[in-house]
Structure 1
Amino acid sequence: MAESSLKVSVVGADHEVWSGEASMIVARTVEGEIGILPGHEPLLAILASGEVRVTLSNGEKIVAEAADGFLSVANDVVTIVARKAELV
C-alpha cells in the first residue's frame, strides 16, 4: 500500500511561500496548536501568529512564520493563507 501524503500550499498576501508534499503539518491556531496528518477530517481554522512546521516524507523540516490568516484542510490538501508569511 502506498504511503499517502498531504499536498500543502503556504501563501502570503502577495506570493506563494512554499508548496509541495508533506507527511505532517503543525500550525498554531487561535484555539491552540494543531497537527495535520494524511486522512485528517475537513477543517477550517483561524491562524494565530507563529510557526507553521512542515515535515516532508524524507524527514526534512521546513518552517515558516505566518500571521493573520486561515488554514484549510480537505481531501489531504492543506492550504495556509496568511497576511504575512515567510520561510524561517
Structure 2
Amino acid sequence: MATLRVELVAADQAVWSGEAKMVVAKTVEGEIGLLPGHEPMLAILSSGEVRITLAEGEVVKANAEDGFISIEHNVVTVVARNASLI
C-alpha cells in the first residue's frame, strides 16, 4: 500500500513527521484531503486543524495557523506560522 511522507513544521520547530495514509487540512478555498497518488499541488493554509491518518488508523491532530501545504511525489509538506499537536 502506498503511503504519504508527511512533514509538519512551524516557523520555529519541527512538529511532526512520518508516514501516513491521508492528510486533511483547511485551506483558504475549503478543506482538502490528500491521499497517495494525489497530483502535485500547493495551497494556502488557513488557521485550523490538520488531521494526519496513520496506516493503523490512528489520527494525529495539530492546530496550524496560516502557511501553506504542498504535495508532490507522495510527500506532503505543511508549513505554518505556528503549529502544535493537540
TM-score, with length taken from structure 1: 0.97
Equivalent residue for 1:71?
69
How far, CA to CA, are the matches of 1:9 and 1:52 in structure 2?
Answer: 12
Equivalent residue for 1:62?
60
Give the total of aligned pairs: 86
Q: Which amino acid aligns with 1:42?
A: P
How far, CA to CA, are the matches of 1:10 and 1:22 in structure 2?
Answer: 12
How far, CA to CA, are the matches of 1:83 and 1:28 in structure 2?
Answer: 14
How far, CA to CA, are the matches of 1:44 and 1:82 in structure 2?
Answer: 13
1:33 is displaced (CA, Å) by 0.1
How is 1:26-65 mapped onto 2 (pairs within 5 angstroms)?
26-65=24-63
Please tell me the root mean square deviation across aligned C-alpha atoms, in Å.
Answer: 0.3
TM-score, with length taken from structure 2: 0.99
Identity of aligned residues (%): 63
Cα deviation code 1:24-58 (max 9, x no counterpart): 00000000000000000000000000000000000
2:10 to 9, 12, 15: 12
